[in-house]
């Protein structure tokens, strides 16, 4: 055998060793727990054969607590780049089969290296989390590694899309890396996230809770609002991420990717004529309108289980992605409360960071009244949504379907805070407040029959879109059946929008 052949054999051996991760026994344990390995996950996430691994021979440098004897190539992270639908992405997958996927100094360096590459190349970074957290044997070096990653997450924010999947444990300060990313997908059975686990909680507050109750997928998708999507299992979460990236540009200098669209852009949907009920207090499902206006009725909802009184998500219009923010009259009458304001604001800011136009479908009776809302700070949280819409310089196209009352009129991308196109259905009611509330204030001393008459007068005078249209606050009152065509025209008209901003370091959003 020649010396050269020897070298290739050695390379082959080392490569094979690296691909084994923590070994067969731990891989079996991973499968028995209903989880895939890091490499199996990447195979599903990325286009077939597109993954190029970086740093697969990196080993940790710790010799404390017997770690000097235990070294596994890759050291608990599988990272590199590949493609999703032919587009470059970077991926970082924690390998639970290697030291529980824990964070060593060497692992952190691998993560930061890939994130820096992703920023330089202008491509999204996808992190697959499944880890016991900071590697205890490495002490402060592990914490330093986490802090370096957090710093990279912050630097990358608004530059490249960052997506996290939680596919196993994610505990302690480790949660802050996914928390700093744009989207978090969690698997239903196997994932959990918490800062302090059930044992610590029990010791400190004497509360009893399971891991799933405390930090499982449904907890973070429906209660805390930390996560954005729930997946059935590892495979499903990888497919969700693939679909999500299809709506996003690779970086903040690009426009979102356009899909060829051969369908009809002037489609009329007569069923929308009956969408808004004659009775202004009757709910209806705003999702019907959304699904009618997007291409192929395909809407990718973000945070579908949280603050259902506002709907956020992505759709395409004649092939071009847009972000949709819609009040949902079927929940809490579509009113804005703390949670929906924060949900909406974060989504708006994401879209604005990445040049994704915004479509706002509005039916909002106002901010939700209540002592809890006031004590909880609805003033500052509502201000987040106002700030986000106002600050956004991407095209903003608003359609008022029914109610647009009070402060919520101003907040939901009104003309006054920079919306480019403001449309209304003939059923729109644009006023300081609803007829009953208004009459109870300005005619509080009148008799009941006088009040009833006053409500009718008020409804005729104010609960319609015509005054706003007279003033130019509404550009056009449209036939609901033509909403899709109107939106596509508005998106085309605004596609080269350019806005110059006043120079400043950054604003001071009411956090």
Which residues make Cβ contacts (< 8 Å) with residue 42, sequence separation at least 6?
A: 51, 78, 82, 91, 93, 128
For ligand HXC, the closer CB: 198 or 366: 198
**In the complex, minimum distance from the CB of residue 233 to ligand HXC, in angstroms, rounded to a whole number:** 17
Pull the structure tokens for residue 472: 């130019």
Active-site residue (options: 319, 407, 418, 437): 407
Q: Are strands 192-194 and 476-477 parallel, antiparallel or unpaired?
A: unpaired
- Which helix (H) or strand (E) is 185 found in, with range? strand 183-187
**Binding map of ligand HXC across residues 72-101, x = CB under 6 A, - = no contact:** ---------------------------xx-
Pull the structure tokens for residue 182: 């744009």
* 367 lines the binding site for ligand HXC (CB under 6 A): no
**In the complex, minimum distance from the CB of residue 411 to ligand HXC, in angstroms, rounded to a whole number:** 36
* 249 lines the binding site for ligand HXC (CB under 6 A): no
Is 171 one of the catalytic residues? Answer: no
Contact 296/276 with Cβ under 8 angstroms? no
Would you give the DSSP letter of residue 219? I
Binding range to ligand HXC, per CB under 6 A, among 168-176, 218-226, 243-251, 392-400? 168-176
HSE of 476 in the Cβ direction (CA atoms, 13 Å)?
Answer: 12
For ligand HXC, the closer CB: 30 or 340: 30
Gap between the Cα atoms of 82 and 131, Å rounded: 22
Gap between the Cα atoms of 223 and 186, Å rounded: 14
For ligand HXC, the closer CB: 98 or 491: 98
Contact 107/145 with Cβ under 8 angstroms? yes
**In the complex, minimum distance from the CB of residue 64 to ligand HXC, in angstroms, rounded to a whole number:** 11
**In the complex, minimum distance from the CB of residue 174 to ligand HXC, in angstroms, rounded to a whole number:** 4
Binding range to ligand HXC, per CB under 6 A, among 134-142, 411-419, 449-457, 501-509? 134-142
State whether the Cα torsion 199-202-208-212 is positive or negative. Answer: negative
DSSP H helices, 412-482, are 435-442, 448-462, 466-470
Active-site residue (options: 173, 246, 319, 376): 173
Contact 353/250 with Cβ under 8 angstroms? no
Gap between the Cα atoms of 163 and 183, Å rounded: 5
Is 172 one of the catalytic residues? Answer: yes
For ligand HXC, the closer CB: 8 or 65: 65
- Which helix (H) or strand (E) is 220 found in, with range? none
Per-residue buried b or exposed e for 352-385, using 16+ beta carbons within 10 Å of the residue's own CB: bbbbbbbbbbbbbbbbbeeeebeeeebeebbbbb
Gap between the Cα atoms of 208 and 13, Å rounded: 49
**In the complex, minimum distance from the CB of residue 240 to ligand HXC, in angstroms, rounded to a whole number:** 24
Is 408 one of the catalytic residues? Answer: yes
Contact 339/298 with Cβ under 8 angstroms? no
**In the complex, minimum distance from the CB of residue 177 to ligand HXC, in angstroms, rounded to a whole number:** 8
> Residue 176 burial by CB count (10 A; 0-12/13-18/19+): exposed, middle or buried?
middle
* 132 lines the binding site for ligand HXC (CB under 6 A): yes
Instruction: Using CB under 6 A, pick the residue from 37, 102, 153, 237 that binds ligand HXC.
Output: 102
HSE of 276 in the Cβ direction (CA atoms, 13 Å)?
Answer: 19
Instruction: Using CB under 6 A, pick the residue from 173, 304, 319, 437 that binds ligand HXC.
Output: 173
* 192 lines the binding site for ligand HXC (CB under 6 A): no
* 171 lines the binding site for ligand HXC (CB under 6 A): yes
Active-site residue (options: 21, 172, 216, 366): 172
Q: How far is CA 319 from CA 264, 299, 492, 500, in A?
A: 11, 13, 11, 27
* 366 lines the binding site for ligand HXC (CB under 6 A): no
Binding range to ligand HXC, per CB under 6 A, among 167-175, 299-307, 431-439, 470-478? 167-175
**In the complex, minimum distance from the CB of residue 151 to ligand HXC, in angstroms, rounded to a whole number:** 11
**In the complex, minimum distance from the CB of residue 13 to ligand HXC, in angstroms, rounded to a whole number:** 24
Touching ligand HXC, residues 145-164 (CB under 6 A): 146
**In the complex, minimum distance from the CB of residue 17 to ligand HXC, in angstroms, rounded to a whole number:** 18
For ligand HXC, the closer CB: 100 or 435: 100
Please give the radius of gyration of the chain, using alpha carbons only, rounded to the nearest integer: 26
Would you give the DSSP letter of residue 367? B
* 143 lines the binding site for ligand HXC (CB under 6 A): yes
Closest CA to 394 of 325, 482, 309, 471: 325
For ligand HXC, the closer CB: 197 or 246: 197
Instruction: Using CB under 6 A, pick the residue from 82, 133, 365, 395 that binds ligand HXC.
Output: 133
Instruction: Using CB under 6 A, pick the residue from 174, 217, 356, 368 that binds ligand HXC.
Output: 174
Is 315 one of the catalytic residues? Answer: no
Instruction: Using CB under 6 A, pick the residue from 161, 172, 366, 480 that binds ligand HXC.
Output: 172
Gap between the Cα atoms of 211 and 206, Å rounded: 15
**How many residues in the shown chain lie near ligand HXC by CB under 6 A?**
15
For ligand HXC, the closer CB: 174 or 419: 174
Which residues make Cβ contacts (< 8 Å) with residue 66, sequence separation at least 6?
A: none
Residues lying near ligand HXC in the complex (CB under 6 A) are found at: 99-100, 102, 132-136, 143, 146, 169, 171-174
Active-site amino acid positions: 172-173, 407-408
């Amino acid at each position: 055998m020649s010396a050269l052949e020897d070298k290739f054999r050695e390379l082959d051996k080392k490569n094979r060793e690296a691909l084994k991760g923590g070994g067969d026994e731990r891989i079996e344990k991973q499968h028995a727990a209903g989880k895939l390995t890091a490499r199996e996950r990447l195979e599903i996430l990325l286009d077939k054969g597109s993954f190029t691994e970086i740093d697969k021979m990196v080993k940790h440098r710790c010799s404390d607590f017997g770690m000097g004897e235990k070294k596994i190539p890759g050291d608990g992270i599988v990272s590199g780049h590949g493609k999703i639908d032919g587009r470059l992405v970077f991926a970082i997958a924690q390998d639970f089969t290697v030291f529980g996927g824990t964070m060593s100094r060497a692992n952190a360096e691998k993560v930061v290296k890939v994130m820096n590459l992703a920023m330089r190349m202008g491509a999204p970074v996808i992190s697959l989390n499944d880890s016991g957290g900071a590697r205890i044997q490495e002490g402060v070096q592990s914490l330093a590694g986490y802090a370096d990653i957090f710093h990279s997450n912050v630097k990358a924010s608004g530059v490249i899309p960052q997506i996290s999947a939680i596919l196993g444990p994610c505990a302690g300060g480790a949660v802050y890396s996914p928390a700093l990313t744009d989207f978090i997908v969690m698997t239903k059975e196997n994932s959990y996230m918490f800062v302090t686990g059930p044992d610590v909680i029990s010791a400190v507050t004497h509360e009893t809770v399971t891991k799933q109750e405390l930090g499982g997928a449904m907890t973070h998708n429906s209660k805390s609002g930390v996560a954005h999507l729930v997946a059935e299992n590892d495979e499903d979460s990888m497919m969700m991420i693939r679909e999500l990236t299809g709506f996003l540009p690779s970086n903040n200098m690009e426009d979102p990717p356009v899909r060829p669209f051969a369908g009809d852009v002037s489609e009329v949907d007569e069923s929308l004529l009956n969408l808004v009920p004659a009775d202004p207090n009757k709910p209806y499902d705003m999702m019907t309108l959304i699904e009618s206006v997007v291409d192929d009725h395909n809407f990718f909802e973000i945070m579908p289980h949280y603050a259902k009184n506002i709907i956020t998500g992505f759709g395409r219009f004649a092939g071009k992605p847009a972000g949709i923010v819609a009040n949902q009259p079927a929940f809490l009458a579509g009113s804005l409360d703390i949670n929906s304001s924060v949900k909406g604001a974060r989504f708006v800011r994401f879209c604005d960071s990445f040049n994704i136009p915004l479509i706002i479908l509005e039916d909002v009776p106002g901010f939700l009244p209540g002592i809890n809302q006031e004590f909880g700070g609805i003033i500052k949280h509502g201000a987040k949504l106002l700030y986000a819409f106002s600050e956004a310089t991407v095209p903003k196209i608003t359609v008022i379907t029914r109610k647009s009352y009070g402060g919520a009129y101003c907040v939901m991308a009104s003309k006054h805070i920079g919306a480019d196109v403001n449309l209304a259905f003939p059923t729109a009611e644009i006023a300081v407040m609803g007829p009953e509330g208004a009459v109870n204030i300005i005619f509080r001393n009148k008799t009941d029959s006088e009040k009833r008459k006053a409500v009718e007068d008020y409804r005729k005078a104010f609960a319609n879109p015509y005054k706003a249209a007279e003033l130019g606050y509404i550009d056009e009152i449209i036939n609901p059946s033509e909403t899709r065509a109107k939106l596509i025209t508005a998106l085309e008209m605004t596609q080269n929008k350019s806005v110059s901003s006043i120079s400043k370091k950054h604003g001071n959003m009411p956090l």
